Amino acid sequence: MSEAGCAPEDGARAGAVGVIAIDGPTASGKGTVAERVAAALGWNYLDSGSLYRLAALRTLRSGVDPHDADAVVAVAGSIAPTFSGGRIVLEGEDVSDAIRAEGVGALASQIAVIPALRAALAGLQRAQRRAPGLVADGRDMGTVIFPDADLKVFLTASADSRARRRHKQLIEKGFSATVPDLLRDLRERDARDMRRESAPLRPAEGALVLDSTYLTIDQTVAAVLEAHRRNPGAGARRAGTKPGTTGRA
């Protein structure tokens, strides 16, 4: 059994349908990159992080103690959202913007450590694997959910650049935020994601490790599409580094 509570083979049953798995820390740009790669290929797109944000939103609205794992799973483990036209609907309400609030994101990171919740959401994620193909982004797409993905990418960037990117996104959406607060929150989330027992954040075996600190979104998308075109073999690779650096984020 995998750390998400389901056998890795479960993610391979639809093996005829191609998958590109893009994992990475908070605000690394993986969602934007994955969505654009999916559009370029004409494939389906899965934003797995939105599922945990939906679970967090339901947890907040239910009033249950987020530290009570059983209660969280009881109210959030059976969400059934619909995705259409870039919008997310939960129980008849468009919650596309509500789940992007920083408070929801922080709680999503907190409850994502609950193994039973990860197991409950695993099947919902794997069900998105449909023809002609799927580009999935998250934190355990290549390690747990789709271990047989055709291409596995681990997208990262420095904490400072990620904080600045997230600040820009939030301000554009009308949310109040400061870079120092976001930087502190990102570092806390990184530590929590990497240290959790269930599906910790890490590059999948054979993943392309892509540092986007000095890359534009277009350059990052192009790098992923080129890697897909080449259908690279096993073995970790590192790309996107600033000239003269070692490629460390």
The DSSP letter of residue 98 is: G
| Helix residue ranges per DSSP H, 98-240 | 102-111, 115-126, 159-172, 179-195, 217-230
pLDDT in tens, 76-118: 988 989 887 778 999 999 999 999 888 998 899 899 989 999 9
pLDDT for residue 83: 81
Kind of pairing between the strands at 151-156 and 208-211: parallel
Residue 161, H or E segment: helix 159-172
Residues of the chain where predicted confidence (pLDDT) is lower than 70: 1-15, 232-249
pLDDT at 231: 75
What is the structure's pLDDT at 53? 95
How confident is the model at residue 183, as a pLDDT? 95
Interatomic CA distance for residues 134 and 117, integer angstroms: 23
